[in-house]
Amino acid sequence: MRSDIIKQGYERAPHRSLLRATGVIRDEADFQKPFIGVCNSFVEIIPGHAHLNKVGEFVKQCIREAGGIPFEFNTIGVDDGIAMGHEGMKYSLPSREIIADSLETMARAHCFDGLICIPNCDKIVPGMMMGAMRVNIPTIFVSGGPMAAGRTAQGKAIDLVSVFEGVAQHARGQIDAAELQELEQEGCPTCGSCSGMFTANSMNCLAEALGIALPNNGTLLAVSEKRKELYAAAASRLLDLIKQNIKPQDIVTQRAIDNALILDMAMGGSTNTILHTLAVAHEAGVNYSMQRINELAQKTPNICKVAPSSSYHMEDIHKAGGVHTILWEIAQMQPSILDLDCLTVTGKTLGENIKEWSVREPHSPAARAYEADLAANPFRERQRDFDCIRPLERAYSPTGGLAILYGNLAPEGSVVKVAGVAEAMKQFEGKAVIFESQEEACKGILAEEVQPGDVVVIRYEGPKGGPGMQEMLAPTSYIMGQGLGESVALITDGRFSGGTRGACIGHISPEAAEGGPIALVKSGDLIRIDLLKCSLELLVSEAELAQRRQLWQLSARKRQRFSGYLGKYAALATSAATGAILKW
C-alpha cells in the first residue's frame, strides 16, 4: 500500500507514534489497512456545505465498516451568492486553485491510499477534481446533494435566482417589500447546492457521466435519507478501487470528457462547466480544445431544461430518472455519440450503468422502482417527468444547450447558454453600452441606463483583469427583472453564474486586460450576435480596429497591482479559453 511509506518498518516508529496520537488508530491491526483521505468541504457559511460535517462523520463510519482507516481534512470554500456584488467575488474562481493545491498537498504529504471527496458547490467541485487528477490515486466523488426548490404561498417553485430578479422587480415597483421578503425567506429552503441547474449541480451531474461519481450523485436531494445509501456505497467501492488500483486518470480520458460534455449539452448546464472541464482535462493530461466542445454541441440535442431555463429543478430531474436517464435517451441516437465503453468507479462501463440506472431502460432496477413509486403516488404526473427529460423526438433543440462563439470580438472563443436564450434573441444586433466593471454595470442597469436594443459590454473582469473573473448574476438578473430579457444582450470577458439566463455571452477571449478586442469597443458600436452561426462580431472595420489597438493602453485602474493572493493569481492566470489555469 502507498501508506506503507509512513507506517511500516522500524524507522517509521516516530510516524506511528504521531498517528496513534491522532486517536484515529484504534489497534495494531489498523496499521495493516488502507489509509483513506476524506477531503471534506464543510464550511458553515455555505448552505451547500453546512451539513457536510455530519456527512463526513457518516462517510468515515462507512469507510471503517468497509475495511479502511479514514482521516478527514477540510478545504476552504466561497459561497458565490454571498460573495456576489462586492469584492469577495474576486476570490471565487481563484479559490478553485487553493482547493486543488490543498488536496494535492494533503494527499501527497500523508501518503493516502485513496480519497473520498465530499464537495458540493461551484469552484469546490472542480477544485477537488483538479487536485484528484494531479495525485492520481483511487478516488470517488460524493456530493452533499442539491437543495429543494422553494415555494411561494401560491405554490410557485422559486430559487436563489428568483430572489436576485426580485431585487430588480422591487426597484422598479413591480413587487412590494412583502413580496420580496417572501422570495428571500422561501428561495433557499434547505441545505444543499442551489436547486437549479447552476454550476454546482452541473458539475456534480457531470461527475456521473465522467465516471468519477456513483449514479444519483448529482440529483438526489441533500435532505434525502437515501443519500446515506450513496455514501455507504461510495466507501465500499473505494476499497475495491484501491484493490484494483483504478485511478482517476484511468477513468478521465478524452472519451470520458466527451461523455461529460455531451451530458452538459443535453441538459443545458452552466457555462462555467466549460471553464472547469478544460482545467480538469489539463490536470488529467488530456489536450482538450474549445473547438471540440462546439463540435459536440452541434450534434447533441438539448432534451432537458432546468431552472434558470425552465420552472423545473433538480428534484424534478431526479424524479424523472436522473442523469442516467438523460444519458439513456442520448444513447438511443444512431450513430451513438456517447462512448458507452468508458470505465467508471462503479466497476462497470458507462453503458452498463445506464442500463441499470435509467428509468427508461426496460426492466431495469431503476425502471421497476420508478413504476412502483408511480403506483404508490397516483398524483405524480408522468407527463411532467417526461417533459423535464424529453424523448429525442421532442427535444427542445436539435443542438446542445451550450455553444462556443467565435468572431472578431472573440478570436479565442466565448461561451453562451443557448438553452436559456429566447428565440427572438438568438440573432441580435445592437449598440454597445460599456461598463468597465461589474459594479458600474449594476449601478447603470438599475439606473435604467440600458434600453431595449442595447448590448451591455462589461469588461476588465477576466481572469487577469478582475482579477478573478467575477460572476455576473446580479447584472443579468437585473436585466431580466426589468423585463429586458428579450431585448437586451450582455457580453463580458468575465463569467456568469449558473443561474444566469438570457442572451448573455461570457468568457470572451482574449480578455480586455490583455488587449483583446473587447477592450477596443466604443459606446455606440454595433455588435452582432448570431447563435445559429456561433458568431460574435464587432461591426467595425479592420482598419479602425488596428488604429484603436495602437492607441489602446491600460488606464491607471487597469494597471493597478493587487496585493496578497489576488496579486499572485493575476500574475499567473491564463485565458478563459484554456480554463483559466495558472502557469508560471
Query: Would you say 80 is a known binding-site residue?
Result: yes
Other CB atoms closer than 10 Å to residue 432's CB: what's the count? 19
CA dihedral (358, 363, 366, 368) in degrees, to 10, reads 140
Other CB atoms closer than 10 Å to residue 377's CB: what's the count? 10
Angle between the N-to-C axes of helices 350-357 and 323-331, in degrees from 0 to 180, rounded to the nearest 10? 110
d(CA 459, CA 504): 13
d(CA 70, CA 124): 21
Place of cell 404526473: 381
> Do residues 208 and 279 touch, judged by C-beta distance below 8 A?
no
Name, in order, each residue with C-beta under 8 angstroms of 287's C-beta and a sequence gap of 6 or more.
254, 281
**Whose CA is closest to 496, among 514, 472, 461, 530?**
472
202 as an active site residue: the answer is no
d(CA 281, CA 288): 7
d(CA 295, CA 290): 9
d(CA 66, CA 71): 14
Other CB atoms closer than 10 Å to residue 437's CB: what's the count? 17
> Do residues 198 and 499 touch, judged by C-beta distance below 8 A?
yes
Helix, strand, coil abundance in the chain, percent, nearest 5: 45, 15, 40
Query: Would you say 228 is a known binding-site residue?
Result: no
At residue 430, φ and ψ (nearest 5 deg) are -155, 170
* Beta bridge mates, 506: 415
Grid coordinates representing 186 are 422561501
> Do residues 460 and 558 touch, judged by C-beta distance below 8 A?
yes
* Beta bridge mates, 304: 389
d(CA 577, CA 413): 7
* Beta bridge mates, 504: 490
d(CA 264, CA 236): 28
Three-state secondary structure call for residue 210: helix
Element (H, E) at 157: strand 157-158
> Do residues 350 and 338 touch, judged by C-beta distance below 8 A?
yes
d(CA 477, CA 499): 9
Query: Would you say 122 is a known binding-site residue?
Result: yes
* Beta bridge mates, 495: 471
d(CA 465, CA 511): 7
Which one from 92, 102, 224, 497 is the annotated catalytic residue?
Answer: 497
d(CA 378, CA 358): 21
d(CA 88, CA 85): 8
**Binding residue numbers for Mg(2+):** 80, 122-123, 471
Q: Which residues are catalytic?
A: 497
**Binding residue numbers:** 80, 122-123, 471
